[in-house]
A and B are shown apart, each in its own frame.
Chain A
Amino acid sequence: MGLARAPVDMTNEASTVEMTFESNLKYVEVAEDVVRRVCTTAGFEEEEEQKIEMAVHESLINAIWHGNKNDPAKQVWLKFQIFGDRLEIRVRDQGNGFDPDHVPDPLAESNLLKVSGRGIFLIRAFVDEFRVKNVAGAGTEVTLVKRFNRTMKSHEGGTDREHEDYSTSS
C-alpha cells in the first residue's frame, strides 16, 4: 500500500493538466484515460488510482448529466494539479449547481433500493476532500482532493479518513 512518489516538483508550483470538452458522455472515457495518466505521474498505486478515477467519473457524469443537462453547447472543464502533498482535481460545469448537504443519504433504509443517488456518496468515499462551489450564473465547480501520505499515515497510526469511510458505511 506504500506510495511510489513521482518526481514531482516539491515547491508550491503545481504540475497542471487541463482539458475542456462538450457535454457528451463519450468524452468521459477520454477523460478517464487522462485521470489514469495523471495518477501514474503523481505516483498513486492502482487501487488508489481506481478510486480517484471513479470519483472523477462520477463528478463528470454529474457535470454533464445533471449540471449541463447533456446540452452539447455547454462545456465541462477538468483540471488536475499535482502539488507536493496532494492531487487536486476540479470539475466545472455550466449548470445551476446543487447543495451537497441536501443530497439524500443512499444508505438510509428507505433509499437503499433507489436506482439513483449514489454518485456524491461514492465521490466522498473515494477522496479525502470534496468541495462544491456554486458560482451564480457561471456554473458549479467541484474540487476533489487526494493526499499522497494518507496510507503512510495509517501505517504510522494516524488518522486515515478513507478507512473511517469504509468502516462507517459497510
Chain B
Amino acid sequence: MSMKTIVRLVDSVTIMDVSGRITLGEGCTQLRELIREQLSKGNKNVLLNLGDVSYIDSSGIGELVSSYTAVSNQGGSLKLLNLTKKVQDLLQITKLYTIFDVHDDEAKAISSFSASA
C-alpha cells in the first residue's frame, strides 16, 4: 500500500491529492521528488491534499516540513488540505499545526494563495 499522488493545476495552484502511506522510504522519496519537480517548473503555490493519507510516520512528518521549507525558500507557499484526525493529532503534538496553513475547503484554500501573494 504505497503512496499515490494526482497532481492538478487550478488557478496557478498546484494541488497534490496524496493517498496511501507517507513513510520512510518510497512515500517520502516520492513526495520529495514531486515537490522538486513542481518547483523546477516554477510552480511555487502548492496545496497538499492529505485527505486520503492512511498513514504518516515521523519521517513523513519530516518530509512535510522539508517540503514546506523547500517551497518557502523558493518564495512560494505550501499549504495543507483535508487533514485526517490522525494527521491533525500528529501535527498538533509535534507543534507543527501552527506552522502550516491548514484548510478543509479546497476553493477557500486556493483563493488563500492569491490573498497572501
* A residues apposed to B, CB below 8 Å: 25, 28-29, 50, 54, 57-58, 61, 65, 106-107, 112-119, 121-122, 125, 165-166, 169-170
Task: Say which one of B43-51, B75-83, B90-98, B106-114 lies at the interface with A.
Answer: B90-98
User: Given A54-B57, A58-B57, A118 and B95 touching (CB < 8 A)?
Assistant: no
Summarize B's interface: helix, strand, loop or mixed: helix
Select A119's contact among B58, B63, B92, beta carbons within 8 Å. Answer: B58
User: Given A57-B57, A118-B94, A125-B93, A113 and B24 touching (CB < 8 A)?
Assistant: no
Which residues 57-71 of B have a CB within 8 angstroms of A? 57-59, 61-63, 65-66, 68-69
* B residues apposed to A, CB below 8 Å: 1, 23-25, 57-59, 61-63, 65-66, 68-69, 86, 90, 92-96, 99
List the 3 shortest-distance A-B pairs measured between CB atoms, nearest first: A118-B58, A115-B62, A119-B58
User: Given A125-B93, A165-B93, A61 and B65 touching (CB < 8 A)?
Assistant: no
Q: Are A65 and B24 in contact (CB under 8 A)?
A: yes
Q: Are B93 and A58 in contact (CB under 8 A)?
A: no
On chain A, the residues within 8 Å of B68 by CB distance are 113
Task: Report the minimum CB–CB distance from B61 to chain A (whole Å).
Answer: 6
Q: Are B96 and A112 in contact (CB under 8 A)?
A: yes
Q: Are B57 and A61 in contact (CB under 8 A)?
A: yes
Select A122's contact among B1, B58, B69, beta carbons within 8 Å. Answer: B58
CA A169 to CA B86, docked complex, whole Å: 16
Q: Are A25 and B24 in contact (CB under 8 A)?
A: yes
Identity of the chain B residue whose Cβ is nearest the Cβ of A118 in the assembled complex: B58
